[in-house]
Structure formats: structure tokens, C-alpha cells
Structure 1
Amino acid sequence: MLPTVDVQCPYCGEIITLVIDDSAGSQNYIEDCQVCCRPITVIVEFDEEGVPYADVRGEDEA
């Protein structure tokens, strides 16, 4: 089962749930918001215990 991370869309402010592929290590990709469909830059890192966390940015912040 893949882990999930809840993040807040930088455009509409809604909380969305991202499914993280933890076998791929640190990641940087673009995913559309599930609510407003705007492109979000997602930066995924992992803590010392392997738990993922994500930072999200809008196009003007990337």
C-alpha cells in the first residue's frame, strides 16, 4: 500500500491527498490539483524513518 500525504493547494486552498510512490525516493514533479485543476509543483522528501512529506508550490513560486 502506497503512503499518502495531505497538502493544501497553493491556488484554491483546498486540502488534497497525494499518493506517494515511496520506491522512487525523493521526487520533483507536476500534478494537477484535484479540485481546481491548476498545475502544482510537488517536491517529495523522506525523513530519517522513511516517512514521506511534500512541499507544494504554484507556477509563480517554482
Structure 2
Amino acid sequence: MEITCHFCFEKINLELFIEEGEKQDFIMDCEVCCHPLHITAEWNEEEEEFEVEVDAG
């Protein structure tokens, strides 16, 4: 899936795995500008995919 950096607005690939939990909360650095991004993801059983929110870390 792709997310957008809140600082440089570039698209970044993000891989999430259900094996790591249905609810995930972590910080990752943007691959382009290196600013921290706060990622929260929750598995949606009905859609069979993660719902992801990104904000400035």
C-alpha cells in the first residue's frame, strides 16, 4: 500500500503483515525526507485489509 508523507508529500510504499498484529502503532522515517511519520493500522476483517492513518511523528 502507499501512504503520503505529511512533510514532503511524496508517496511511500508501506508493507504491513497481519502476523505482526491486528492493531499496529509505530514510527517510521520517510524514505525521501527522513522526517518521522506516526503510523496506526487496524485490520478490517470485513474488507480483509488494514485501515491506516498517518500523521506527523
TM-score bucket of the superposed structures, by smaller chain = 0.7 to 0.9
- Computed over aligned residues only, the root mean square deviation of the Cα atoms, in angstroms, reads 1.1
Count of residues paired in the alignment: 55
Deviations along 1:6-59, one digit per CA (max 9) or x if unpaired, are 111011000101110211211110000011111000001122233112110003
Q: Does residue 36 of the first structure (1) align with residue 33 of the second (2)?
A: yes
Give, in whole Å, the separation in 1 of the partners of 2:10 and 2:4: 5
Q: Does residue 57 of the first structure (1) align with residue 55 of the second (2)?
A: yes
Question: TM-score of the superposition, structure 1-length normalised?
Answer: 0.78
Q: Does residue 10 of the first structure (1) align with residue 6 of the second (2)?
A: yes
Instruction: Point out where structure 2 has 5 or more consecutive residues left out of the alignment.
Output: none
Q: Which has the higher strand share?
A: 2
Instruction: Point out where structure 1 has 5 or more consecutive residues left out of the alignment.
Output: none
Give, in whole Å, the separation in 2 of the partners of 1:56 and 1:30: 10
